[in-house]
Structure 1
Amino acid sequence: MTRTAVVIGAGIGGLSAAIGLHRAGWDVTVLDRVAVFRPVGAGLVLQANGMRCLDALGLGDAVRTQGRPSISGGTRRADGRWLARIPAEDLERVLGTSAIGVHRAALHDILLGALPAGAVRTGARVTAVTAEGEVTYDGPPGPVGVGADLVVAADGIHSMVRRLLWPRATAPVQVGVRAWRGVTPVWDGELVVAISWDRGAEFGIVPLVDGRVSWFAAVNAAPGPSADGDTRVPARFHGWHDPIPALIAATDTVLRDDLACLDEPLPTYVRGRVALLGDAAHAMTPNLGQGANQALEDAVVLAAVAGQPGGLAAYDSQRRPRSQQVAKASRMIGRVGQQLENPIAVAARNTLMRLTPPRLALRSMARYADWRPPASTT
């Protein structure tokens, strides 16, 4: 008998899990509350671990055609002075594959296209889930109830499934950082890829394959409400090194978010037939660039073990320690990186970065991306 799975959430993690399960012979249904998928978001970097996951799902080459290999980068000060510089070819040599910069919408389209027609149901708002695999959702015809051998909760940082089945779990917390993201039109100017830091502020650049540039900016900001609809990037970035002011000025649509994460690690990612995945399980800050990559790791591991005896316990034991370690490290990097404001501490950090041998800096950058999927998924 064919095993059945319901995936709640059609983001990167949810779709990747659905693809992996479908390839393993499962009958998969994906539910998402949005009525129509729109090309929203900005760029992201698929690091070596994420690209290996996509290779395991049979989609690595398709993503490479829609993405741009990472080029030389590092960390700079707001005035442009380099603190650390790591050539992309050195990182590729250590990891065996290059990182890829890709627009989130392009990746989403590739993932959607890898599932059979009818597998993804939009306009489906999930209202109830049980540990026994019963799912109730409101669809266009009205309320619908389905049962499944496996329920994958990939419904994001504010996961409804986590609230229902993990009632003692601590809610997400705002980290005190406001972020802006944008994508320029085709960029003809000079471009040096780097992350730039100032006291309590950061700016990053991700070139895309079609000549556009994705960027993000972040500043410390007290958690709480802010002016609705105000997406203006703070004026402090206008004085940063080139081409930062020009990139901001060239961007028509800017997205703004107050960053949050799950600061209290969950004791398990599994309840009965239900498994949490991606941000629903381990929402992390973006400081290591590992959010989407960790969701991809979740997806390929779950697809590899879900059909085995004790498969969900194996998923939990394999994914929870690593993903929580990455989340903890990302939080720490944010505190000593973008969030650091004390001028003495900033000066000490910058000096340490300049004096760190490139070999050690390279090892540090490669540490969290050096992961390979289970052999059974390839």
Structure 2
Amino acid sequence: MGNTAVVVGGGIGGLAAAIGLRRVGWGVTVVERAPVLKDAGAGISLAANGLRALDELGVGEAVREASRGQYVGGTRTPRGGRLARMDGLALEKEVGAPIMGIPRSTLHRLLRDSLPAESLVIGSEAASVEQTGPGVVRVDCGPMVLRADLVVAADGIGSKIRARLFPDHPGPVHSGSTVLRAITDHAVDLGADFELTWGQGAEFGHIAFLDGRAEWHAVLSLPAGTRFADPLAELRRRFHTWHDPIPALLDATRADAVLHHDVNELRTPLPSYAVGRIALLGDAAHAMTPNLGQGACQALEDAVTLAAALGAEPTVETALARYDDERRPRSQAVARAARQAGRLGQQLSHPLAVTLRNTAMRLTPSRIATRMILRHHAWAPPPLN
């Protein structure tokens, strides 16, 4: 088996894949089209499965030190009524770790710092990727051409590599929601590590960080392409009557810090995560809605599973077949569950349906809610030999 790989995409999944491949003896080049790695983004929640993947990659301890555990919180109504409580201690007892909150930029930096600088090619786009002969994949990056034994397509939900490999696939579609998010400019008195509030066709949530600041997000049921002249003012208008600390979170935010993106997903599952010597990973393979907080965790699972397969199997082809067999059923099941969670959560708008859901949540014992979470969090990574 050869041992050189090109990873297209320098996001969380791509960097994790590069770390994993290096740990099993592969030489790796990461190609990222952004001219500068700005460590942008808002916040992210890491469940036990994602943390275990990071442990296997050798960066779990650093990530934990930079994260805040989500022990206190839950789900509420706009007036502040309690729908469900988060039992972070029970979750930690069952799976070994609570959910952790960390700025996305911090996680990205920690992953990037685990790679040698010379393995990152910044400001270069993979214009074409093709298998040119037995065991050789050619990556055309403009003036630079790379040849490798393997290409990992970690180029996100709009993956051009996926589109070339599966020209008949419909690609990403709009979920029916749009999300606005930001990190507060200073610490806020929160009272909870993590909280979601569900209204009619709207959701507001926050993740607390170690330094007292918080990431907040507002999800609205709106058509694709909807934008506001003043996003922060629009959110203040929509959420000014919602319970504390929602108004305080918005007041602690700079207007230029608000990010706004439509929530898109790969609703039609891919038939395979590998074609020839090209593997799809993360959002390029299974972009999902954020309702379970599993998008990054699934990409981290992909990275470790891919590296383990390449470290154990006799050929690239058998390794990629194993990767596809292990990752496609699980990640696509998580994507379906995330879609369903959105339909029963933020996307519900009819008053009667909202009332029925809220009643069901109040009546559900916490141990049953914890068991439902465990379906996705209880994953053990394959060892990287």
CA distance in 1, matches of 2:96, 2:76: 26
Aligned: 1:377 with 2:381: no
| Alignment correspondent of 2:28 | 28
Instruction: Please list the CA deviations of residues 261-282 of structure 1 after superposition, one character each: whole Å capped at 9, or x if unmatched.
Output: 0000000011100000000000
Q: Does the CA-based 8 Å contact 1:174-1:258 persist in structure 2?
A: yes
| Alignment correspondent of 1:196 | 197
Report the CA distance between 1:229 and its aligned residue: 7.5
Cα pair distance change 1:183/1:233, threshold 3 Å: farther
Q: Equivalences for 1:101-180 in 2 at 5 Å?
A: 101-132=101-132, 133-138=137-142, 143-180=143-180
Q: Does the CA-based 8 Å contact 2:231-2:258 persist in structure 1?
A: no
CA distance in 1, matches of 2:172, 2:228: 21
Give, as a single letter, the amino acid of the residue that structure 2 aligns with 1:377: L
Q: Does the CA-based 8 Å contact 2:228-2:234 persist in structure 1?
A: no
CA distance in 2, matches of 1:218, 1:59: 31
* Count of aligned residue pairs for this structure pair: 373
Cα pair distance change 1:357/1:31, threshold 3 Å: same
Question: Please, what is the CA RMSD of the aligned residues?
Answer: 1.5
Indicate which of 297, 301, 308 corresponds to 2:305.
Answer: 301
CA distance in 2, matches of 1:164, 1:288: 29
Cα pair distance change 1:265/1:62, threshold 3 Å: same
| Alignment correspondent of 1:348 | 356
Report the CA distance between 1:98 and its aligned residue: 2.1
Aligned: 1:237 with 2:245: no
Structure 2 unpaired stretches of 5+: none
Query: TM-score normalized by structure 1?
Result: 0.96
Give, as a single letter, the amino acid of the residue that structure 2 aligns with 1:301: T
Report the CA distance between 1:94 and its aligned residue: 1.2
Cα pair distance change 1:165/1:201, threshold 3 Å: same
Instruction: Please list the CA deviations of residues 289-312 of structure 1 after superposition, one character each: whole Å capped at 9, or x if unmatched.
Output: 000000000000000002413000
State the identity %. 50
Indicate which of 306, 315, 319 corresponds to 1:311.
Answer: 319
Q: Does the CA-based 8 Å contact 1:2-1:25 persist in structure 2?
A: no
Aligned: 1:275 with 2:276: no
Aligned to 2:377, what secondary structure does the other structure show? coil
| Alignment correspondent of 2:223 | 222
Query: TM-score normalized by structure 2?
Result: 0.94
Give, as a single letter, the amino acid of the residue that structure 1 aligns with 2:244: D
Q: Does the CA-based 8 Å contact 1:205-1:215 persist in structure 2?
A: yes
Cα pair distance change 1:159/1:188, threshold 3 Å: closer
Give, as a single letter, the amino acid of the residue that structure 2 aligns with 1:241: H
CA distance in 2, matches of 1:216, 1:66: 21
Give, as a single letter, the amino acid of the residue that structure 1 aligns with 2:246: I
Give, as a single letter, the amino acid of the residue that structure 2 aligns with 1:199: Q
Aligned: 1:322 with 2:326: no
Q: Does the CA-based 8 Å contact 1:231-1:255 persist in structure 2?
A: no
Cα pair distance change 1:232/1:39, threshold 3 Å: farther
Indicate which of 289, 295, 298 corresponds to 1:291.
Answer: 295
Indicate which of 328, 332, 347 corresponds to 2:340.
Answer: 332
